[in-house]
Amino acid sequence: MTPEKLLDAVEGFSTPLFVYDLDAILDRLSLLKKLFDGRFGVSYAIKANPNMGLLRALQPQLEMFDASSILEVRRAIATGMKPEFISFSGPAKRKVEIHEAVDLHVGELILESLSEAEEASAYAQSKGLLQPCLVRINPLHVPRKFGASMARTASQFGIDEEQMGDALPQIAELAGLNLVGFHIYSGTNCLDPEAIAENFENFARIFEQAQAQTGIEVHRLVFGSGFGIQYLPDETQLDHEALPALVNPIVDALLQKPGFEKATCNLELGRWLVGPFGWLLTRTISEKSSRGSEIRTCDAGFNNHLAACGMMGSVFRRNWVFQNISNPQGKTSAYMLVGPLCTSIDRLAVDVELAEVTVGDVIAIEGSGAYGLTASPSRFISHPEPREVTYHDGRFTDASETERHPLTTLPA
Ligand SMILES: Cc1ncc(COP(=O)(O)O)c(C=O)c1O
């Protein structure tokens, strides 16, 4: 979105403000659906951005929503998605959440442990139901070049690959469950097509083994995609055009194996779809020099965007891509951008090169469509929660979900 358009949004809705470009996100979704020539359906991981305006726009184009709490399941249903097209994953599903999901007839319960499987089975049986489910497997190996990797070490996610032989036949036998397939999500934010293909090859090997251990006719395989996006100025985008040549042969070979003839595959992902088409817009509140640094305080900090401040799993804090959209032609200098919180760790950017920033300027943080507001401690120090707007067909629409009252808002 152009800086002028982003400034239009600020004009209408003030700062801090998250803007989501639905037109660009929907284009990206249709590109993804065409990319693999129908080999994959798309399952959107609601955790990446659960904004209802966004979910409602995505829903008609998606094969599935993946929810990771029962409240996300309810969000998915509120968009009009039929429960049969909702999967429910997550490592600590409470009994009440499992029961509600079974009562709602969610299409795929993603089992993360044997004990969870036993609970779901017992409840479904008590209701005379047969709950469709997938078992999530936690691989031993994840290629390098993935961001957060959930495999290899002790993990709360799924059943360890080494324990499959023992656990899967037991789950397949549970009377209240219909085991229809398998799920793997083992790493995220990868920008290397070859590493993604290597990961999928490993998934295919594990899926084959899981099928052999259970003897089931597989109906669904979920490939937790791990497709990454550019966050840092020196990163490049994932070359998604390179993926089909690497990935299609792996999928085609797998689907020819006995037990897989009826299998359909879904890519489960969030950030690649929505991340690049969201911005956090923050206004500069004050300016000062301190011990050699030009400091600009802003009305958003890690309370609004933990990830951009390098606090969501990054080993080293590095600057994301920032722009001074109020004064793009100004003389460039280095700035320290800090948020409004009373802690020295509230830093948006350090030594970031920006066109001259003065009080009142609006700074845009790129790549903020995923894991922005939803993954931030927005109540810390009681600053007003950012508003969220969607952009669709040339119009901005308020998509904020926080109730506005004197304890959550400031005068304009
Ligand atoms: C099970 C599962 N599926 C999907 C996702 C979405 O990942 P991403 O937004 O990186 O595509 C995650 C992220 O942690 C996840 O844990």
**Gap between the Cα atoms of 118 and 144, Å rounded:** 35
Q: Is the pLDDT of residue 82 over 90?
A: yes
Q: 262-304 pLDDT, tens per residue?
A: 999 999 999 999 999 999 999 999 999 999 999 999 999 999 9
Question: How far, in Å, CA of 236 to CA of 383, rounded?
Answer: 34
For strand 278-290 and strand 362-365, is the pairing parallel, antiparallel, or unpaired? Answer: antiparallel
- Mind listing the pLDDT tens digit for each residue in 200-217? 999 999 999 999 999 999
Q: What are phi and psi of 165, to 5 degrees?
A: -60, -30
Mean pLDDT over all residues of the chain? 95
* Banded pLDDT at 122 (limits 50, 70, 90): very high
- Per-residue confidence (pLDDT) for residue 231, from 0 to 100: 92
Alpha carbons 194 and 276: distance in angstroms, whole number: 22
Given a cut of 90, whether residue 411 has pLDDT beyond it is: no
Q: What is the pLDDT of residue 61?
A: 97
**Does residue 49 have its Cβ closer than 6 Å to ligand 1?**
no
Mutate to test the pocket of ligand 1, among 28, 44, 47 (most ligand atoms within 8 A of CB): 47
Question: For ligand 1, is residue 183 a contact (CB within 6 Å)?
Answer: no
- Residue 310 is predicted with a pLDDT of 86
From 1, 18, 5, 12, select the one nearest 281 (Cα to Cα): 18
Say if strands 17-21 and 278-290 run parallel, antiparallel, or are unpaired.
antiparallel
Residue 112 in contact with ligand 1 by CB distance below 6 A: no
| Mean per-residue pLDDT, 16-44 | 97
- Beta strands per DSSP E along 291-381: 293-298, 322-324, 332-338, 347-355, 362-365
Q: pLDDT higher for 188 or 250?
A: 250
Q: Does the structure show a pLDDT above 80 at 346? A: yes
274 C-beta closer than 6 A to ligand 1: no
Ligand 1 center–CA 114 separation, angstroms: 22
Average pLDDT over residues 322-346: 96
Tell the CATH topology of 276-398: Lyase, Ornithine Decarboxylase; Chain A, domain 1 (2.40.37)
pLDDT tops 70 at residue 115? yes
Distance (angstroms) between ligand 1 centre and the Cα of 140 equals 18
Percent of the chain with pLDDT over 90: 90
pLDDT band (50, 70, 90) for residue 330: very high
Report how far ligand 1's centroid is from the alpha carbon of 188 (Å): 7
Residue 152 binned pLDDT confidence (cut-offs 50, 70, 90): low
C-beta of 190 in contact with ligand 1 (< 6 A): no
Burial classification of residue 8, based on how many CB atoms lie within 10 Å of its CB (0-12 exposed, 13-18 middle, 19 or more buried): middle
DSSP 8-state symbol, 307: T
Q: Is the CB of 370 under 6 A from ligand 1?
A: yes
Ligand 1 contact, 188 CB (< 6 A): yes
pLDDT tens for residues 6-26? 999 999 999 999 999 999 999
Find the DSSP H helices in 278-410. Answer: none
Considering the domain 50-269, what is its CATH architecture? Alpha-Beta Barrel (3.20)
Tell me what pLDDT residue 405 has: 84
Distance 353 CA to ligand 1 centre (A): 32
Sequence ranges of the domains in the chain: 50-269, 276-398
Amino acid making up residue 167 = A
Is the beta carbon of 138 within 6 A of some atom in ligand 1?
no
Query: Which of 66, 108, 189 has most ligand 1 atoms within 8 Å of CB, for mutation?
Result: 66
Ligand 1: distance of its center to the CA of 12 in Å?
33
Mean pLDDT of 229-252: 95
pLDDT at residue 245, as a whole number? 98
At 144 the pLDDT is 87
The model's pLDDT over 172-202, given as tens digits with 9 standing for 90+, comes to: 999 999 999 999 999 999 999 999 999 999 9
The residue whose CA is least distant from atom 2 of ligand 1 is 185
Tokens matching residue 28: 């990206």
pLDDT at 148 over 70: no
Percent of the chain with pLDDT over 70: 99
Least confident of 4-13, 136-145, 160-169, 175-184: 136-145
Q: Quick check: CB of 196 below 6 Å from ligand 1?
A: no
The span from the CA of 292 to the CA of 288, in Å, is 10
In angstroms, what is the span from residue 303 Cα to ligand 1's centroid? 22
